[in-house]
Amino acid sequence: MSITAPDDVRWPDTVTATGGEAGAVITARDWSGTPLGPIDGWPQSLRTALALCLHSPTPTVLWWGDGPVPLPNDAYRRLLGPGRAAAPGRPGGEVWPGDWAVLAPLLAGVRAGRGAAVSPDVPVRRAARDAGEDRWFTFTHVPVTDESGRPAGVLSVGAETTAWVVGARRLRLLTALGAALADAGDPEEVARRAVKTLAAAVPFVQLHLSTPDGPRLVAADGVEVPPGTADGWPLAEVLADGAARLVPPAGDRPAAPVVAVLPVPDPGAAAPVGVLVAALDPHRPVDADHRAFVELVAGRIGAALAVARAEHRRSVDRAELRMFRALSERALRRAEALARLAGALSSARGREAIVAVLTTVVPTVVDATALRVAITSPGRATLDVAGDDAPPGPLPLHTDVPLARAVRDNVVLPLPDTDGRTTGLCLPLRYGDGGTLGALEMRWAGPVADDEALRNLLDAVAGLASQALQRAELTGSAQAMAGFAARLSVTRSTAEAIEVILDAATTALGAELPGLAMRAEGRRVRLWYHDDVPGTLVATFRDLTLDDPRPIVHALRDGERLVLRDRADFAARYPGRPDPVGAHGLVTTVALPLFGAGHRPIAALGFGWRRERPLRDTDLALLDTVADLCEQTLERVRLAAAEHNLVTRLAGRLRSSSLTAPPGVEVATRYRPAMSGLHLGGDWYDLVRQDGDRLAVVVGDVVGHQVEAAADMAQLRTMLNTLIRLGVPLEEVFLRLTELLGVGFLGTCLVVVVDPVARTARVARAGHPHPVVLPAGQPPRTVQTANALPLGMVDRPMAVTTIAFSPGDVLVAYTDELVERRGRPYDEGVAALHRSLVGVRDEPVEAIADALLHDLAGSEDDQALVVLRHLG
């Protein structure tokens, strides 16, 4: 039977209106000649996943089908730059910024059911003539299931890891530099080794040492870059005031790099010991981090020069020399440990893996004896704590313990011992906008000096940890939204859709106490909610009407999205109104309108968080995605329900019969409509009384669905009923039907004429499933007849098969949907019917019919069934 999805004229317009430039390009393209086919015929699972992709604030691409066909969003298209703008449907090798030969089998594995996969640190390169920066992204690839439950596509969500990659490279360079300079015997050798090491990372480098006669070039490497020769660098000025200079490229060479002219500090003196001239990476911004790094390089060279001078002169006290070496070795160890931490965090997937890295690696980086990490999700009022002596269960944020205070107040807290000396710190972990997402608690064996080196180290550790946790949060949100979309795509009714919305939407957002308000009769409003909503809160929302001033009804009535950051915001917007939601512990609340056809609000979704949650741009984008997915699902199930009700009423009228069975025959009939409005209208049964207490049983199935199939079925039923009543011989009934109606239809039919007096049943079959007979005291068997063409193709009299139908025998006629199941051989379904019959053979026919429908449940199509017993 064919399956025709309901028309959804809103969907392409919605993609154009809300999907940005990528959505407009997708709807403007003619997809008829592609593997995806015309856009109006795309399945709901593809539509839902595409909506999630287009609304994602991060670079995201949906790969669909065997190709696979890429459908990128605006952020992904911008990522590739103007020279490689990713148009929907282009080959994957042109769209993917990394190695396609690596990605293609990875995507195939995700579609094959091997689970989500990750492409770490994919480079997005820029040509030398381009002005943009080199960037790196980690892509998480999650499967997208279709209506059958099998993966049909892959959603690739990118999270930028440029900071980790650049940081790791810089740390590796510092490590290599420290190793190269560790045993240099004199300043000249230090200079040569330093330039050689740096030349592997920068296009141009010089090192000038200070002499009584001025700066002297000791080592150089690379091609000289504008603005000119060494005489053009401000060497003397840098030696005089110890301030770094940045020399921009000449006007005729705008693509050339900026050159940093830096003082090389002398740890034992106020004046610089030399000048480092280095061309900076033209594809990295010359920001504070970049400048701090090159200054750190210069400082490392200065420390090595100081040690080399001490060795060379042998006039420095041996203890001081050991101190210099210890400081250098300590700095080297810290740099190496930071590099390990950055690498481990960049490859950690998920919050638990990141926490494991922090608790095991960070203590070695900062020389701490104990470390605990506390993390909170946005809007949550508790902390998850891990590490040494972590308390069981979540830690409430309002408690007066240092970890909770550091997160709550967003401050660094010293941890004193019994003598008042600082032996530990609580360090907040922050989002990019400064809000807290957690804290690190570190303790040392003894007092900790407040020196700049330690502060810089701790800031670097906190920055790496914060970035990793933000990346995990973003990836987790994308996976939760993908799961939400998948669950919505298989809902079949409004009740199922509401259950998924209340359960999965707020889970994806980390919210609590969801409620869904929908219009009811007149101006009444009905509210759906979960059992975990307190009864005292539910009581305040009874008897709602559209005039109610509360936010969720306000959103339903006016179609306005309401975001109340805290209860003071509620009081300012609704002065004098009671606040039952705030009284039950929610702080930030949202009322999200959901629109139907014609952009008319049909529902509103309300939820909140127990701690103030600033909603960032990415959070607002998630709200838009949640609303769009909910709107599509509610509209889809509404249309399906309307069609289901229409066709079921029509089918019920056509199948109703008040016929009384003839003496000696017990009859039970059943018609079960499809599970949704998408598969209705083709199956029917009929009972026709004939002379001599004979009974003609007709069971048929018209190819097609929906109202048209029901109309075809009504016409066939009427004509067959008439032909049988007129006494047309059974072998000629289907031929006469073809002569009367032509060949403009297609279907199957079975006619069984039961004669209880003669104890026979005559069977004529036009392409229909064979009936099943259960003789008294014997196993069931299929009634075999000659092969027959289906209705609309019969061009000659049919062969009629006569079987015995004795007292106690049971005869079953049915349509194929009773035994056909996707992924199961047809014969196995018939065998299941036989087994079910044996178990209820002694029951009344009504009980037999009910048992068959129960045991053979699971079809997505409508079914017709007739059960007869010869009573004797």
Q: What integer pLDDT is reported at residue 86 of this predicted model?
A: 54
Cα(190)–Cα(308) distance, rounded to whole angstroms?
7
Closest CA to 46 of 93, 12, 85, 1: 12
Burial-class residue 221 by CB neighbours within 10 Å (0-12, 13-18, 19+). middle
Cα(277)–Cα(470) distance, rounded to whole angstroms?
37
Amino acid at 466: S
For 858, left (φ over 0), alpha (ψ -120 to 50), or beta?
left
Closest CA to 396 of 412, 376, 424: 376
Q: What integer pLDDT is reported at residue 230 of this predicted model?
A: 47
Please name the residues in contact with 87: beta carbons below 8 A apart, sequence gap of 6 or more: 25
pTM for the model stands at 0.53
The model's pLDDT over 546-574, given as tens digits with 9 standing for 90+, comes to 999 899 999 999 999 999 999 999 999 99
Closest CA to 233 of 255, 267, 193, 204: 204
Token code pair at residue 429: 């972990």
- Specify whether the CB–CB gap between 728 and 736 falls below 8 A: yes
- Specify whether the CB–CB gap between 724 and 736 falls below 8 A: no
The model's pLDDT over 407-432, given as tens digits with 9 standing for 90+, comes to 999 999 999 988 889 999 999 998 87
Given a cut of 70, the residues of the chain with pLDDT beneath it are: 1-11, 14-17, 82-87, 126-132, 223-231, 250-255, 312-334, 642-659, 674-681, 704-711, 743-744, 860
- Specify whether the CB–CB gap between 158 and 142 falls below 8 A: no
- Give the SS3 label for residue 801: strand
Please name the residues in contact with 600: beta carbons below 8 A apart, sequence gap of 6 or more: 559
**Length reported for the chain:** 872
Helix (H) or strand (E) holding 472: helix 452-489
Q: Cite the DSSP H helix spans in 367-448.
A: 402-409
**C-alpha dist (Å) from residue 438 to 351, 404, 728, 749, 797:** 12, 9, 85, 69, 83
- Specify whether the CB–CB gap between 586 and 515 falls below 8 A: no
Q: What are phi and psi of 605, to 5 degrees?
A: -110, 125
**C-alpha dist (Å) from residue 459 to 346, 410, 463, 464, 557:** 18, 14, 6, 9, 49
Cα(324)–Cα(322) distance, rounded to whole angstroms?
5
Cα(652)–Cα(445) distance, rounded to whole angstroms?
83
How open is the CA angle 402-407-413, to the nearest 5 degrees?
40
The model's pLDDT over 778-820, given as tens digits with 9 standing for 90+, comes to 999 999 998 888 888 888 898 999 999 999 999 999 999 899 8
Closest CA to 610 of 586, 590, 581: 586
Q: What integer pLDDT is reported at residue 434 of this predicted model?
A: 83
Token code pair at residue 280: 């900076």
Amino acid at 560: E
Token code pair at residue 199: 């030349």
- Give the SS3 label for residue 826: helix
Other beta carbons within 10 angstroms of residue 232's beta carbon come to: 13
Please name the residues in contact with 253: beta carbons below 8 A apart, sequence gap of 6 or more: 225, 226
Please name the residues in contact with 679: beta carbons below 8 A apart, sequence gap of 6 or more: 1, 3, 705, 860, 861, 862
Token code pair at residue 410: 């967003």
**C-alpha dist (Å) from residue 249 to 72, 188, 281:** 37, 30, 13
Burial pattern 773-799, b for ≥16 Cβ within 10 A else e, equals: bbbeeeebeebebeebebbbebeeebe
- Specify whether the CB–CB gap between 469 and 449 falls below 8 A: no
Closest CA to 67 of 146, 141, 153: 153
Cα(70)–Cα(133) distance, rounded to whole angstroms?
25
Please name the residues in contact with 620: beta carbons below 8 A apart, sequence gap of 6 or more: none
**C-alpha dist (Å) from residue 534 to 381, 501, 548, 579, 581:** 18, 19, 21, 15, 10
Q: What integer pLDDT is reported at residue 661 of this predicted model?
A: 81
Q: What are phi and psi of 367, to 5 degrees?
A: 60, 35
Q: What integer pLDDT is reported at residue 679 of this predicted model?
A: 43
Closest CA to 263 of 222, 226, 209: 209
Q: What integer pLDDT is reported at residue 710 of this predicted model?
A: 66
**C-alpha dist (Å) from residue 596 to 8, 518, 523, 616, 703:** 12, 12, 18, 27, 32
- Specify whether the CB–CB gap between 609 and 588 falls below 8 A: yes
